[in-house]
Amino acid sequence: MPEDHARRIFRFGVFEVHEATGDLRKHGVRIKLHSQPFKVLMLLLEKPSGVVTREEMRQRLWGTEPFVDFDHGLNTAVNKIREALGDSASVPRYVETVSGKGYRFLAPVTSDVPAVDLSAVPLPVAESSGAMGSGGAILTTPEDLPIAPRKLVRILLLLVQIMYLGFYLGALANLNEINDIFLEAGLHPVALVSLLVTTGAVLIPVRLFIMLAVALDYQNLPAKFSKLFPVLLVLDLLWAVSPFLLIHHINTGLALGLSAPLVYMPFAQRSLVLMYSRRAEAK
């Protein structure tokens, strides 16, 4: 094999495949992929959008040597590839099974030859994981999320904003009762009511902006949201205790039960924006 051919780099989405070192990388982080699955992935990347037959794979990878369990070996290799890419056989984004023929690589692929030898660069190694994402990231990436109808994603985003607006407006409309709740709990009502009013006044226009952006299908919403998210996360977690402002009308257990999903809601909202972003790019 010529040296340049052996040093190709294939890129698709957030992934890179370095032929010389046998590395699969996501956002620069090496994803563990054994030799045989890597070779199968290389065959698919050499022929993007085209069908690579099982017979071609057998001849290229196993040659004429007898291999009585070829089917199991190939199926296992493809499953390992999908696991590393966070892909699914039922809803494929990268590796599609062509029934009765072989496999097809779906995503657009680019390739080039690096100017320097990247094998000398030390990289952290991450085990592949279908649940948390191949890079082991704490926060979800677009590739980790399922494909959903764009209309559904937009509707859910709008509902989330309406829910938060309801919290803010309801609290601001009942400041006297909330002040009594803080007094009964032995808390400092002046400071807490001031915090509630200030955060509510700040967050109402933010929610209105997101609602309008989603309604008008604003393509730069994901970029804007990514800048807002760190601050929005802190404020949303503070407002996750808002069910306790209804403690005169509901019991403590129900308030706690309602607060639990509200703690998760900022991350769910971020996932929806990531899905909105991915679908926007695909338009």
> Average pLDDT, stretch 104-113?
87
pLDDT at 164: 94
pLDDT at 280: 44
| Rounded CA separation 23/17 (Å) | 6
Q: Are residues 188 and 226 in the same domain?
A: yes
Q: ∠ CA(39), CA(42), CA(44), 5° rounding? A: 115
Look up the domain containing 222 and give its range.
Answer: 150-282
pLDDT at 157 over 80: yes
Q: Are residues 111 and 163 in the same domain?
A: no
Point out the least confidently predicted range of 16-25, 73-82, 141-150, 240-249: 141-150
CB neighbourhood size of 98 (10 A): 12
Q: Are residues 110 and 226 in the same domain?
A: no
- Tell me, yes or no, whether 87 lies in a domain: yes
Q: What is the pLDDT of residues 168-204, one digit of tens each?
A: 999 999 999 999 999 998 888 899 999 999 999 999 9
| Rounded CA separation 58/174 (Å) | 71
Q: What is the pLDDT of residues 21-53, one digit of tens each?
A: 989 999 889 998 999 899 999 999 999 889 999
Indicate the residue among 137, 170, 197 that finishes a domain: 137
pLDDT at 3 over 60: no
| Rounded CA separation 229/41 (Å) | 36
pLDDT at 126: 45
CATH code of the domain covering residue 72: 1.10.10.10
Q: Are residues 76 and 126 in the same domain?
A: yes
- pLDDT: which is higher, 148 or 273: 273
Q: What is the DSSP string of the chain?
A: --HHHHT-EEEETTEEEETTTTEEEETTEEEP--HHHHHHHHHHHTSTTSEEEHHHHIIIIITTS--TTHHHHHHHHHHHHHHHHT--SSS-SSEEEETTTEEEE-S--EEE--SS-GGGS---EE---TTT-TT--SS--GGGSPP--HHHHHHHHHHHHHHHHHHHHHHHTTHHHHHHHHHHTT--HHHHHHHHHHHHHHHHHHHHHHHHHHHTT-TTHHHHHHHHHHHHHHHHHHHTTGGGGGTTTS-HHHHHHHHHHHHHHHHHHHHHHHHHHHHHHH-
- Tell me, yes or no, whether 227 lies in a domain: yes
- Tell me, yes or no, whether 90 lies in a domain: yes
pLDDT at 224: 87
- pLDDT: which is higher, 159 or 120: 159
- Tell me, yes or no, whether 145 lies in a domain: no
Is the distance from CB of 84 to CB of 145 less than 8 angstroms? no
Q: Are residues 161 and 124 in the same domain?
A: no
| Rounded CA separation 47/60 (Å) | 14
Is the distance from CB of 125 to CB of 32 less than 8 angstroms? yes
Mean residue pLDDT across the chain: 83
Burial class (CB in 10 A: 0-12, 13-18, 19+), 272: buried
Indicate the residue among 114, 137, 160 that finishes a domain: 137
Q: Are residues 162 and 253 in the same domain?
A: yes
Q: Are residues 218 and 259 in the same domain?
A: yes
Q: Are residues 23 and 115 in the same domain?
A: yes
- Tell me, yes or no, whether 176 lies in a domain: yes
The number of domains in the chain is 2
Q: Are residues 167 and 86 in the same domain?
A: no
- Tell me, yes or no, whether 142 lies in a domain: no
Q: Are residues 103 and 159 in the same domain?
A: no
- Tell me, yes or no, whether 195 lies in a domain: yes
Question: Between β-strands 29-31 and 23-26, what pairing exists: parallel, antiparallel or unpaired?
Answer: antiparallel
Q: Are residues 184 and 159 in the same domain?
A: yes
Q: Are residues 132 and 157 in the same domain?
A: no
Indicate the residue among 137, 171, 188 that finishes a domain: 137
- Tell me, yes or no, whether 144 lies in a domain: no
